[in-house]
Amino acid sequence: MSGPAYDRRVDDDVASDVIRRLERIGVDYYVTGSEALPRYGEPRQTADIDIVLDLQPHEFHRIERAFERDYVVNRPIGEGDAKIASVVAQSGLGKADLMLGRRDAWARSAQRRRQEWDHPRLGHVWVLSLEDLILAKLEWSAGISELQLRDCANLLRANAAIVDWTYLERYARALGVDEILDRLRASTP
């Protein structure tokens, strides 16, 4: 006997709800990860949504208050300034990972460069710029995740005419992923 069929609309409803709640409480954000991919190229299915918040860990009570009635709220964890938290729908059918607290030069630049986008399933959202999405995936992968590297190669291929290489190279050096970017650039036609 099998369980109920998976319905992507439930995840989309949760992702949309999380975004709308963030907007209602005035938290600046941008969508990153796989949900940002369709903005610049090839989409890829994911089990959750990744959202970067312009919020410090000591302000997390705002998230708790906005979500605690309908979500299991997992408090921020992590080393240093950057933390990750999550909200999981009490139904168990949707989750958002929330990154917060990062304040380095790249994080500030990425927040300033975010773009409005009419997401095909989620409606109006703020999304990471093309170059910052590539940098985020390179940093997250540390050069070892084939999936993230493939996403980056696809982004570079699909957007070859508009990639800001000066920006990419500057922040790749700052993030310590410049060698990975160089290898990716050399292998991407």
Give domain limits for the chain: 1-128, 129-189
**Residue pair 157/151 in contact by the 8 Å Cβ criterion:** no
Domain spanning 1-128, CATH class: alpha beta
CA angle 140, 138, 107 (to 5 degrees): 70
Top-confidence residue, 7 or 162: 162
User: Which pLDDT does position 167 carry in this prediction?
Assistant: 98
Q: What is the pLDDT of residue 10?
A: 40
Which is more confidently placed, 89 or 45?
89
Weakest mean pLDDT among 8-12, 44-48, 57-61: 8-12
- The answer to whether residue 120 scores a pLDDT higher than 90 is no
With 0.95 as the threshold, say if the pTM is over it.
no
Share of the chain above pLDDT 90, in %: 76
* Three-state SS sequence of 59-74: HCHHHHHHHCCCEEEE
